[in-house]
Amino acid sequence: MSQPSWFQRYLLPGFAFKAVVIGGGYATGRELAEFFLPSGPWGGLMAIALATAIWSAVCVATFLFARATGSEDYRTFFRNLLGPFWGVFEAAYAIFIVLILAVFGAAAGAIGEAVLGWPPLVGALCLTVGIAGFVTFGNTAVERLFKYVSFFLYGVYALFVILAFSRFGDRIAAGFATPAPIDGWALGGLTYASYNIIGAVVILPVVRHMTNRRDAVVAGLLAGPLAMIPAALFFICMVAYYPQIGSEALPSDFLLQRLNFPAFHVAFQLMIFAALLESGTGAVHAINERLAHVWTQRRGGDFPHRWRLAVAGVLLVGSIFIADRFGLVTLIAKGYRLLAWMFLAVYVAPLMTWGVWRLWKGHAPRVATV
């Protein structure tokens, strides 16, 4: 077997983590408006910095614990961390999967409606087909998706910032110069970081590329900034139209209309769809890898492609209809805060206390995973 490359060891985990957290609300700006913008321009940046630091710290601890316990899927990880209580996380993750896939479906539907005039359900179904196609073929297909979409995404965000400053840079500067309350920035950053940090466990299949503890630490430290840089850049552009942009269902479309650059408008919407695709793929792939691990232990051989496709189909179709029923803004505003507290209780708190203590003392043995 060939030695893992530096990209696989250091950058792929960050790209994969970004792929899971970027999703529908991040890429469209809706999550940024919900959790960061209420604290004003400077308070929002403080919240973003806090969330980035939390992500990096928890990613480092997660990767180290996963390597120490041989955990390459979330089920094995939580059997090692929580013991007989690992099923509590499984229940929380099931709620998470349905909710975020519904958010992704709602966002894809909104994009299809805004750009092409499609009924919302059509855009959501296009996303469903794309996710199912990638997860069917396992780790290799999913990791390639993370890699190439990441390059496309960073490039589009960089171009967006350049265009935004050229068209309404004066408004951005004025927004940061205008006094605004910064109340609640810590809670906003903590909440945003908490429900998204689950991405560190979702991407555990990439831990197999890490060769030592140093790889886990470096990859974890890089994961936070790699995931948050596009959000910070986009937030800065949003300040140009603070506070009215906070009520927009698609802040990205609001800004793109003011750029008045039709070709880039289409490119940005394609980037958002690609972000939804990689986020949804990462979330569903984690379920498949959890099932694949059990399948291999009990039956031997690889988890069949047809079963990967079937699992994806059940999860996606059910979630898409939830998206069609409730819509993007409601799902983000009400569902994500519940997830934040759930994951703080069943993942972050146990990992950063009991899990870190076991790592420090060298008491992180593997448990049976069947």
pLDDT at 17 over 50: yes
> Residue 304: inside a domain, yes or no?
yes
User: What is the pTM assigned to this prediction?
Assistant: 0.87
> Residue 199: inside a domain, yes or no?
yes
pLDDT value of residue 342: 85
> Residue 298: inside a domain, yes or no?
yes
Q: Average of pLDDT values for 150-163?
A: 93
> Residue 145: inside a domain, yes or no?
yes
pLDDT value of residue 1: 53
Residue 326: pLDDT band with limits 50, 70, 90:
low
Domain interval for residue 49? 8-348
pLDDT value of residue 368: 47
pLDDT at 329 over 70: no
Q: What is the pLDDT of residues 305-315, one digit of tens each?
A: 999 999 998 88
> Residue 162: inside a domain, yes or no?
yes
Choice between 250 and 46, residue whose per-residue pLDDT is larger: 46
Task: Identify the CATH number of the domain in which residue 251 sits.
Answer: 1.20.1740.10
Q: What is the pLDDT of residues 20-57, one digit of tens each?
A: 888 766 877 888 999 999 999 999 999 999 999 999 99
> Residue 354: inside a domain, yes or no?
no
pLDDT value of residue 218: 97
Q: Average of pLDDT values for 129-136?
A: 94
> Residue 302: inside a domain, yes or no?
yes
Percent of the residues in the chain that have a pLDDT greater than 90, as a whole number: 58
The mean predicted confidence, pLDDT, of the chain is 88
Q: What is the pLDDT of residues 236-248, one digit of tens each?
A: 999 999 999 998 8
Q: What is the pLDDT of residues 92-123, one digit of tens each?
A: 888 788 777 877 887 788 778 877 888 888 88
Mapped to the 3 state alphabet, what secondary structure does the chain carry?
Answer: CCCCCHHHHHHHHHHHHHHHHHHHHHHHCHHHHHHCHHHHHHHHHHHHHHHHHHHHHHHHHHHHHHHHHCCCCHHHHHHHHHHHHHHHHHHHHHHHHHHHHHHHHHHHHHHHHHHHCCCHHHHHHHHHHHHHHHHCCHHHHHHHHHHHHHHHHHHHHHHHHHHHHHHHHHHHHHHHHCCCCCCCHHHHHHHHHHHHCCHHHHCHHHHHHCCCHHHHHHHHHHHHHHHHHHHHHHHHHHHHHCCHHHHCCCHHHHHHHHHCCHHHHHHHHHHHHHHHHHHHHHHHHHHHHHHHHHHHHHHCCCCCHHHHHHHHHHHHHHHHHHHHHHCHHHHHHHHHHHHHHHHHHHHHHHHHHHHHHHHHHCCCCCCCCC
Q: Average of pLDDT values for 156-177?
A: 94
pLDDT at 320 over 70: no
Q: Average of pLDDT values for 131-159?
A: 93
Counted domains in the chain: 1
Q: What is the pLDDT of residues 221-237, one digit of tens each?
A: 999 999 999 999 999 99
> Residue 147: inside a domain, yes or no?
yes
